[in-house]
Chain A
């Protein structure tokens, strides 16, 4: 139990762990999926696997926006930015994600005008400050970031800003969960539901998981105690044969979500008929496009995009890892060809990706133990 000493309330952690042991059926193997990449990161960081009994297996879900973005979309975005009149803006986590011709950061090194923004509204600011050039914002994220993109598009339209557009790659979490539940090689007993996505969408959209799929789901916070309590709540339901939506993260997540954010999203976006997810393939109605009323600010309608499709390197098994069929270290490339320093698959790029999280918190530790100092000396920050 590596990080237990750092826990705020070690006695509560131990109590939760004891209660989990008491409630579980020792003869049963539980497969619980944490949907959100933030939870994946926290689970590895706190070494929660060491706190949980071995028959509770945590499967890492698709809730890492960088990880599920197909490489072709990165190529598409960068191809639009090849025009010297275009300023390419994106969040920091996009900058190291490899396209076939390199990452945005590598394009920047070759002279392309690529800028990091920490907020979509800063992309709008850059557009106002550079009226002679076109500013494209490469938008990614689930429902946590999509409302902010919607709001800046509403403002760009209201202000009649002509030199700004959004390349929309926003995805929605529910269809991804549905695709995973429909996948024939997947058996799950319940879900640790995403925390911050739920501040926007609330808890109602998960009800079909309970009613139609008979799986419990508990929306969870990010502290070790939050995650353990959520697992405990799942076990309590499973023990009674129940399947309900519960909210462990009430201090932040309102049951109804954020209406203003949902309204902004509905105003600006509509569902795409289908969208490709890296590792999961095409999922119907799983992503957002910009409505025709906002076509002038939609990079896809404004520019001719090549629509590049890239198959992942054959040896990389990102899809299997993403669906929880393989553990990160079971991928052929893990730790040798594919590392956080030189990622081949997207799960290695983001600190929320299960491969990077596993590498940083498990693999380095093991490497250090066996004296591979060259690996162990690498910085642990992905």
Chain B
């Protein structure tokens, strides 16, 4: 579904202001801030992430609520799998058949 994943901004890249390191349940991945142009988050802010892009700034309490929602919906694993998939892990150079198989989790809404 529209898997909205809460994450905390740990670091914003010096070279690319749209690229942030975000912590999601202990997993750190690059998340794009390009869609929060009007209301740029800073380090320590919480954001809701869709398909690798921060879509809205939220409060810490909302982030906790959202994590609980994901757990209730049984989607914590899917969310972690999605976040772990961001950035590809150098899978780019591998030929088909060699890539780690990801199951079909729902992302697009």
Residues of A within 8 A of B (CB): 6, 8, 36-38, 41-42, 45-46, 63-66, 91-96, 105, 108, 111-122, 125-126, 129-130, 140-142, 144-145, 147-148, 151, 194-197, 199-200, 221-224, 251-252, 254, 258-261, 263-264, 350-352
Contact A223/B92 with A63-B109, A148-B50 known, Cβ cut-off 8 Å: no
A170 to chain B, nearest CB (A): 9
B72 touches A6 (CB 8 A): yes
A197 touches B109 (CB 8 A): yes
| B35 contact from A111, A114, A148, A224, Cβ within 8 A | A148
* A122 CB contacts on chain B under 8 angstroms: 52, 85-88
**Can you report 14 residue pairs joining A to B where beta carbons are below 8 Å apart?**
A36-B2, A46-B72, A65-B109, A92-B105, A118-B52, A119-B51, A122-B88, A141-B108, A141-B109, A148-B35, A148-B51, A222-B73, A258-B56, A260-B37
A65 touches B108 (CB 8 A): yes
Closest to A139 in B: B108
**Most chain B beta-carbon contacts within 10 A, residue among A38, A116, A118, A126:** A118
**Which 6 interchain pairs have the tightest Cβ spacing?**
A119-B52, A38-B1, A118-B85, A141-B108, A196-B2, A260-B37
Considering the chains assembled together, what is the distance between the CA atoms of A257 and B48 in angstroms? 14
Contact A151/B108 with A8-B72, A115-B99, A144-B50 known, Cβ cut-off 8 Å: no
Considering the chains assembled together, what is the distance between the CA atoms of A147 and B56 in angstroms? 13
* B91 CB contacts on chain A under 8 angstroms: 115
A196 touches B50 (CB 8 A): yes
| A148 contact from B36, B53, B104, Cβ within 8 A | B53
* A223 CB contacts on chain B under 8 angstroms: 65, 68-69, 72
Contact A197/B2 with A8-B68, A119-B51, A260-B36 known, Cβ cut-off 8 Å: yes
Closest to A264 in B: B35
Contact A145/B85 with A92-B102, A113-B96, A254-B56 known, Cβ cut-off 8 Å: no
A151 touches B53 (CB 8 A): yes
Closest to A118 in B: B85
A232 to chain B, nearest CB (A): 19
Considering the chains assembled together, what is the distance between the CA atoms of A92 and B108 in angstroms? 9
* A195 CB contacts on chain B under 8 angstroms: 2, 4
| B58 contact from A114, A140, A251, Cβ within 8 A | A251
Closest to B105 in A: A92
Closest to A146 in B: B108
| A222 contact from B55, B69, B92, B107, Cβ within 8 A | B69
Closest to B106 in A: A93
* A119 CB contacts on chain B under 8 angstroms: 32, 51-53, 85-86
CB proximity to A under 8 Å, residues B65-82: 65-66, 68-69, 72-74, 82
B109 touches A91 (CB 8 A): no
Contact A261/B55 with A6-B72, A122-B86, A122-B88 known, Cβ cut-off 8 Å: yes
